[in-house]
Chains A and B, each alone.
Chain A
Amino acid sequence: MMYKKSISTVLYHVLAILLGVIAIVPFLWMISTSLKSSGALLVIPIEWIPKEPTLSAYKKLFALTGIVRSIGNSLVVSFGAVFVALLSSSMAAFAFSKIHFRGSGYLFMIFIASMMLPSHVIFIPLYLIMNDLHLVDTLFALILPYTFKAFAVFMLRQQMMGIPDAYLDAAAIDGASLFRSFFTIFLPLCKTALATLAIIIAMDAWNDYLMPLVLMTSTKNYTLPIILNALSGQFKTAYDLLMAGSLISVIPLLIIYITAQRYFASGFLVGGVKG
Chain B
Amino acid sequence: MSIQGRRGIRVALPFLLPSLLGAALFAILPIGISLLLSITSWTGMSKVTLTDGFLRFVAEHSVGLDNFAAILSDHEFWRALSHNLYFIVLYLPSILLFSMTCALIINAQRRGAGLYRVVYYLPVLTSWVAGSLIWKWLLSPVYGPINNFLAIFGVEGPLWLQSELWAMPSIVIASIWKDMGFYAMVLLGGLKSINTEYYEAARIDGASPLQMFRRITLPLLSSVLFYVTMLSMINAFQLFPQVMVMTKDGNAGPNGATMVMVERIYKYAFRYGKMGYAASYSWILFVIIMAFTYIQKRGEKRWVSYDV
Please report A residues at the B interface, Cβ cutoff 8 Å. Answer: 8-9, 12-13, 15-16, 19-20, 22-27, 29-30, 33, 41-46, 48, 84, 87-89, 91-92, 94-95, 98-104, 107, 110-111, 114, 117-129, 131-132, 144-148, 153, 165, 168-169, 172, 178-179, 182, 203, 206-207, 209-210, 213-214, 224-226, 228-229, 232-233, 236, 239, 242-243, 245-247, 249-250, 253-254, 257-258, 261, 264-265, 268-269, 272-275
A124/B34 in contact, CB under 8 A:
yes
A98/B6 in contact, CB under 8 A:
yes
Cβ of B282 within 8 Å of any chain A Cβ, yes or no, is: yes
B residues 89-125 in Cβ contact with A at 8 Å = 98, 101-102, 105, 108, 110, 112, 116, 118-123, 125
Q: In the complex, what distance in Å separates the CA atom of A115 from the CA atom of B286?
A: 13
Q: In the complex, what distance in Å separates the CA atom of A225 from the CA atom of B231?
A: 24
B245/A232 in contact, CB under 8 A:
yes
Cβ of B25 within 8 Å of any chain A Cβ, yes or no, is: yes
Given A117-B27, A128-B50, do A228 and B130 touch, yes or no (CB 8 Å)? yes
Cβ of B203 within 8 Å of any chain A Cβ, yes or no, is: no
Given A30-B134, A95-B16, do A20 and B126 touch, yes or no (CB 8 Å)? no
Cβ of B55 within 8 Å of any chain A Cβ, yes or no, is: no
B165: chain A residues within 8 A (beta carbon)? none
A selection of 20 A-B contacts at a CB cut-off of 8 Å is: A13-B112, A19-B102, A23-B122, A27-B134, A46-B143, A98-B6, A103-B9, A117-B27, A122-B26, A124-B269, A147-B19, A172-B1, A178-B15, A209-B127, A229-B245, A239-B137, A249-B129, A258-B118, A264-B121, A268-B185
Residue from B120, B209, B262 within 8 A of A23 (CB atoms): B120
Given A145-B22, A145-B26, do A99 and B7 touch, yes or no (CB 8 Å)? yes
Cβ of B196 within 8 Å of any chain A Cβ, yes or no, is: no
Name the residue of chain A whose CB is nearest to the CB of B231. Answer: A272
Name the residue of chain A whose CB is nearest to the CB of B275. Answer: A124
Cβ of B170 within 8 Å of any chain A Cβ, yes or no, is: no
Cβ of B189 within 8 Å of any chain A Cβ, yes or no, is: yes
Q: In the complex, what distance in Å separates the CA atom of A103 from the CA atom of B154?
A: 69
B31: chain A residues within 8 A (beta carbon)? 117, 121-122, 125
Q: In the complex, what distance in Å separates the CA atom of A91 from the CA atom of B269?
A: 36
Q: Least Cβ distance of B117 to chain A in Å?
A: 9
B120/A178 in contact, CB under 8 A:
no
Residue from A25, A42, A206, A264 within 8 A of B127 (CB atoms): A206
B18/A88 in contact, CB under 8 A:
yes
Q: Least Cβ distance of B8 to chain A in Å?
A: 6
B127: chain A residues within 8 A (beta carbon)? 206-207, 209, 224-225, 249-250
* Total residues of chain B contacting the partner, CB 8 A: 100
Q: In the complex, what distance in Å separates the CA atom of A127 from the CA atom of B50?
A: 11
Q: In the complex, what distance in Å separates the CA atom of A268 from the CA atom of B227?
A: 12
A148/B133 in contact, CB under 8 A:
no
Q: In the complex, what distance in Å separates the CA atom of A240 from the CA atom of B3?
A: 63
B185/A16 in contact, CB under 8 A:
no
Given A121-B286, A145-B26, A209-B128, do A99 and B186 touch, yes or no (CB 8 Å)? no
Q: In the complex, what distance in Å separates the CA atom of A209 from the CA atom of B127?
A: 8
B23/A16 in contact, CB under 8 A:
no
Chain B residues touching A, majority SS: helix
B186: chain A residues within 8 A (beta carbon)? 268-269, 272
Given A102-B9, A128-B48, do A29 and B30 touch, yes or no (CB 8 Å)? no
A121: chain B residues within 8 A (beta carbon)? 30-31, 34, 282-283, 285-286
Residue from A42, A178, A207, A210 within 8 A of B11 (CB atoms): A178
Residue from A102, A242, A250, A272 within 8 A of B137 (CB atoms): A242
B128: chain A residues within 8 A (beta carbon)? 207, 209, 225
Given A148-B22, A232-B245, do A178 and B6 touch, yes or no (CB 8 Å)? yes
Q: Which 8 A-B pairs have the closest CB atoms?
A: A148-B22, A147-B22, A88-B18, A172-B1, A246-B130, A207-B127, A125-B30, A125-B33
Residue from B110, B245, B248 within 8 A of A9 (CB atoms): B110
B112/A29 in contact, CB under 8 A:
no
Residue from B37, B130, B248 within 8 A of A233 (CB atoms): B248
A144/B22 in contact, CB under 8 A:
yes
B285/A44 in contact, CB under 8 A:
no
Q: Least Cβ distance of A173 to chain B in Å?
A: 8
Cβ of B87 within 8 Å of any chain A Cβ, yes or no, is: no
Q: In the complex, what distance in Å separates the CA atom of A132 from the CA atom of B26?
A: 13
Q: In the complex, what distance in Å separates the CA atom of A48 from the CA atom of B152?
A: 14
A210/B240 in contact, CB under 8 A:
yes
Residue from A42, A118, A179, A245 within 8 A of B238 (CB atoms): A118
Residue from A42, A48, A147 within 8 A of B143 (CB atoms): A42
B234: chain A residues within 8 A (beta carbon)? 118, 273
Cβ of B299 within 8 Å of any chain A Cβ, yes or no, is: no
B8: chain A residues within 8 A (beta carbon)? 99-101
